[in-house]
Amino acid sequence: MDNSNHKKLLNLLRVRGEMTKLELSEALGLSHTTVSTYIEQLTAEGLVESAGFGESAGGRRPLMVRLAENARFFFGAYFAPDRVVIPAVNLAGREIARRTIAPAPVFEETLEKVRRAVLDIIKSEKLDPSRVMGLGMSFPGVVDSARKFVEYAPNIGLRSFSFAEFESALGVELFLENEAITAALAYRFNNPAMAGKNFVYVSVAEGIGTGIFIDGNIYKSVSNKAGEFGHIKVADNGLPCKCGRTDCWELYASKTALLRYCRELMGNSRESDEALLPGLHEAFKKGEAPALEAVRRYARYLFRGIETILLSFSPDEVIIGGDLGELMGDIVSYGVNDLQLSSRFFGYESVPIRVSALKETGAILGSALLPLYRVYDQET
């Protein structure tokens, strides 16, 4: 589908739902006849369908059209150190199924498990394989999307890996992207007002990744290495990082760091990671001193890095995503309201710092959205 007006029309239906031909022609600045032709063509492709008749404005009731949501399907694979999550979405970007697998000791075996999970979803959801349009994969590391190549993803132990062989084995087109950029793209897909904006998306998980958007375009640089804010030095304690340096931001402001502060200050060293965060959030809400100190220590480091981002880009917005759940909202409120950021001197306090509503699902759902953007002509 190469017609850019087709893509604009489909995107309008995705964002606004059911529309009449008149509404479409006004929104697209095209004649009624042209819009009718496009709708006929898109209906023939199975992408658009009738939605019955709308309210009358005096004359005949107008015919409404909508996206045929289940006309195409798109898969994703989100690679984390302890799991691979495989979601499937439809044409509207709505999740229809998901599988989670444990990584195998050898990466090729993990890929084989991903392939079987995709086939399992196709079978159990009774999908027509010819309607499956691609598999997007997100990695916490340096990804060369054009060459379908992961250069370096230390947290999952992957270096210089080409996916060409896997792509031919799967028989479906692959789309690769860095984890933070994947989450940032998903955020923009769900927030059309972000189109064209300058923003930096900070993904907080086992490490910290960032996605930089300048005038609505991803900025990755020729080497694909731009935005490694997770490895700027924020302290002088000699704490070693997997990157070979010491005292990197992600050692002090990742989820791993927050769990460490929690264990040090709250003395609950034997609890699992999953149990720690809700416990910390509860204790923080009750105002218990060790929890307050853990959150405040974390927030001071988180905002030390955010400050660098503000000073580097002066973006329209900074978005925080990742897997700290509800707690991140409180952390950001504390940081924005109570920390006396030295950057206030420069007037950066007007830059909104928001928490992504998608939270940890940003990059998971986002991986399945990577092949979907082509349908709507969105930059990736």
* Residues found near Zn ion in the complex (CB under 5 A): 231, 241, 243, 245, 248
Structure tokens at 207: 């490490």
Q: What is the DSSP letter of 183?
A: H
Q: How far is the CB of 301 from Zn ion (least distance, A)?
A: 14
Least separation in angstroms between CB 35 and Zn ion: 53
CA 48 to each of CA 16, 42, 231: distance values in angstroms, whole numbers, following the listed order: 14, 6, 46
User: Beta strand pairing status for 73-79 and 84-90?
Assistant: antiparallel
Q: What are phi and psi of 315, to 5 degrees?
A: -70, 165
Is the Cβ of residue 42 or residue 259 nearer to Zn ion in the bound state?
A: 259
Nearer to Zn ion, 51 or 241 (CB): 241
At 44 the three-state DSSP class reads helix
* Nearest-approach distance from CB 183 to Zn ion, in angstroms: 20
Q: Is 359 left (phi over 0), alpha (psi -120 to 50) or beta?
A: left
Least Å from the CB of residue 228 to Zn ion: 8
Output 103 or 209, the one with its CB closest to Zn ion.
209
Report how far residue 260's alpha carbon sits from residue 258's, in angstroms, rounded to the nearest whole number: 5
Q: What is the residue-wise DSSP string for 98-127?
A: EEEEPPPSSHHHHHHHHHHHHHHHHHHTT-
* Shortest Å distance, C-beta 207 to Zn ion: 8
Q: How far apart are CA 90 and CA 270, in angstroms?
A: 42
Q: What are the φ and ψ backbone dihedral angles of 192, each rounded to 5 degrees?
A: -55, -25
Q: Which is nearer to Zn ion, 84 or 143 (CB)?
A: 143
CB of 236 to Zn ion, least distance (A): 14
By beta-carbon proximity to Zn ion, the closer residue of 154 and 290 is: 154
Long-range contact set of residues 31-37: C-beta below 8 Å, sequence gap at least 24: 34/5, 35/9
Residues 169, 183: Cα–Cα separation, whole Å = 27
Amino acid at 80: A
Residue with smaller CB distance to Zn ion, 175 or 298:
298
By beta-carbon proximity to Zn ion, the closer residue of 248 and 319 is: 248
CA-to-CA distance for 354 and 362, rounded, in angstroms? 14
Closer residue to Zn ion, CB minimum distance, 156 or 248:
248
| CB contact at 8 A, 285 and 278 | no
**Total count of residues recorded for the chain:** 380
Cβ-proximal residues to 287 (8 Å cutoff; 6+ apart), any chain: none
> Whole-angstrom Cα distance, residue 313 to residue 303?
15
Closer to Zn ion by CB, 28 or 232: give it.
Answer: 232
Smallest separation, CB 243 to Zn ion (Å): 3
CA-to-CA distance for 369 and 73, rounded, in angstroms? Answer: 10
Q: How far apart are CA 138 and CA 185, in angstroms?
A: 11
Tell me how far, at minimum, the Cβ of 273 lies from Zn ion, in Å. Answer: 21
Residue 40, CA distances (Å) to 26, 37, 102, 272 in order: 18, 5, 45, 56
231 versus 255: smaller Cβ distance to Zn ion: 231
**Least CB distance from residue 230 to Zn ion, whole Å?**
7
